[in-house]
Amino acid sequence: MADNDELEDLLEELDSGGDLETSQQVLSIRMESRRYGKPVTIVEGFDLEQREVESTASELKQALGTGGTVDDGRIELQGDHRDRIPDLLRERGFDVRE
């Protein structure tokens, strides 16, 4: 039993930032046109707590210099950012389906 506890402690230490959970998520990115033809980039597939999705959204908005929101566990960003978002998400440990 002691070996199992040591293994659990090691896994928790390795995953202190949630990296193991994050890397197992496959996110998809798409664009929709909203009112007046304005583009909105949508990132879906998160299996995280709401506050973690909001934190990721905040980081993306800052990196892209745009506005956005979190709605139903998905991130909606103003503008068409499909070309830049995959790299930004991969830097944060996510797997992105293009």
Q: Whole-angstrom Cα distance, residue 57 to residue 65?
A: 12
**Domains of the chain by range and CATH?**
22-96 (3.30.780.10)
Convert the pLDDT of each residue in 48-97 to its tens digit: 889 999 999 999 999 999 999 999 999 999 999 999 999 999 998 898 98
Q: Determine the pLDDT at residue 1.
A: 47
